[in-house]
Structure 1
Amino acid sequence: MNTEELVTLLATRADPVDPGIAARRFALALLVAALGSLLLMKGVYGLRPDLSFAAQTGLFWAKFALPACISIGALAATSRLSRPGVKAGRAWWVVGAPVVLVWVAGALLVGAAAPEDRSSLILGISWRSCPFNILLLSIPGFVTVFLAVKGLGPTNLRLAGAAAALLASSIATMVYCFHCPEMSPAFWSIWYIAGMGLVSAIGAMAGPKLLRW
């Protein structure tokens, strides 16, 4: 049997690909990730006591918008990298834009503050635990998003793992906002980003093993 005959044989036996399978996989993965992180957050940390008041402020929703915007870019990157031979393209720009904006906002805030107030704006009261709290809350999403990605046949496993982990951690960070008392953009620009970066680094290291198909 020559090559052309083999290709013809494989093509005639191939089932049609469902164009909506990726969307359904990611929709289910994100739903489970969000619910899992929420239940974990409520069980381990609890909601912040003044949430009803904080949620009435623009600053709270600005904090929430940081991981929410990152999640949009991370989802675009993950969905593209889940397909064989496809690059993330401009999705990384969508990820980077909110990071740059919060860095600028944090720098302006610290620069305008009195010298004795700057450390509290940057460190808050939870800088030691914040990245690791995000890491813990990312576990449900890490599992579900990796399962969704693996079933779609990624080829750049390290980069796909980093994107999938960033998606999981951005969802976890959105959930974490409902517990975290920090209201300084200077804090979010360092410690929220550090938490998401930590999970992404783990995803990059685990990708070649966990996403192999």
Structure 2
Amino acid sequence: MRTEDLIRALAHDSASRSESVARRLVTRALVGVLAALCVFALFLTPRPDLSVVIVTPRVAFKFLITLALVGAAGALTLRAMRPEARSSLWSVLIPVLALLAVGVAAELISSPPAAWRPLLIGSNALACLALVPLLSLLPLGSILAALRYGAPSQPRFAGTIAGLLAGGIGSALYALHCPDDSPLFVAAWYGLSITVISVLGAALGARWLRW
């Protein structure tokens, strides 16, 4: 076999494997979403006014933030599956945090200072801290299982990104139920809940994704 043919064959094999790895991640992530939907159906219901309020700025912003996190973390998770990948956590966090900061600033400007604390605390902070991680656990397990099929060279980092992706999925599902719509609430309690699942992902990744 000529050298050029060998190079083409290796490139084709590498591309095929990359497509297979990406396909497996997407499939496992979808399985995790379906499993989380089952958990949601067992323990929660969509808020009664969802069809009305979903187009309001606060509620739309809540879904924008959570789905932006899913998109950014999902793209980085695909990269983290490859051994040569070198990415920064900030490539996910900076765009999402910047978007969140805009929403928080708009809330502070449009609300009187006396309302800031009630908007921050809301009425479901403890439920958020419990239910977002609960809804994120099965997606996290599915995503970590897919990452094991790849070859991440930074297992703790890959686990952290998997946690962010799972946390974004769990928080988007919880947003269907949660009546607290203030960006202040989202920043504090959704943010803390996603941090919890990301720390868990980092710990599990360091243990399960080593090779």
After TM superposition, the score normalised by the length of structure 2 is 0.86
- The Cα offsets for residues 6-43 of structure 1, whole Å up to 9 and x where unpaired, read as xxxxx9xx999534112211221121121111121121
Q: Secondary structure at the match of 1:20?
A: helix
Deviations 1:183-213 (A, max 9, x none): 1111111111111111111111221112124
Post-superposition offset of 1:71: 1.2
Specify every segment of 5 or more residues in structure 2 that has no aligned partner in the other structure, as ranges.
1-9
Alignment correspondent of 1:72:
71
1:139 to 123, 137, 140: 137
Q: Kindly indicate whether the alpha-carbon contact (under 8 Å) linking 2:61 and 2:103 is maintained by their aligned counterparts in 1.
A: no
Q: Which runs of 5+ in 1 are unaligned?
A: 1-10
Q: Which residue, 190, 195, 205 being the options, matches 1:207? A: 205
User: Which structure features the higher share of helix residues?
Assistant: 2
Listed as ranges, the matches of 1:104-123 within 5 Å are: 104-123=102-121
| Aligned pairs (5 A) from 1:180-195 | 180-195=178-193
1:167-186 maps to which residues of 2 (within 5 A)? 167-186=165-184
What is the Cα deviation at residue 94 of structure 1? 4.0
One-letter code aligned to 1:76: A
- Superposition RMSD on alpha carbons, in Å? 2.2
Aligned residue identity for 1:155 = S
Decide whether the 8 Å contact of 1:77 with 1:92 is kept in 2.
no
Give the whole-Å Cα distance in 1 for the aligned partners of 2:203 and 2:42.
Answer: 29
Decide which moves more: 104-113 or 138-147.
104-113
1:164 aligns with 2:138: no
Matching residue within 144, 153, 156 for 1:155: 153
Partners of 1:71 and 1:16 in 2: CA distance: 25
Correspondence 1:4-153 to 2 at 5 A: 17-89=16-88, 92-153=90-151
**C-alpha contact (below 8 Å) 1:37/1:172 kept by paired residues:** yes
Shift of 1:104: 3.4
Q: Output one character per residue of 1:112-164: Cα deviation in whole Å (capped at 9) or x when no partner.
A: 42232111111110112212211000011011000000110112111011001
Q: Percent identity?
A: 29
Query: Structure 1 CA distance, aligned partners of 2:155 and 2:18?
Result: 22
TM-score, normalization by structure 1: 0.85
Q: Distance in 1 between matches of 2:161 and 2:14?
A: 29
Deviates more, 1:54-63 or 1:77-86: 54-63
The alignment covers a number of residue pairs equal to: 200
Q: CA offsets, 1:38-80, max 9 Å, x none?
A: 1211211221121121223243221101011111111121111
SS in 2 for 1:84: coil
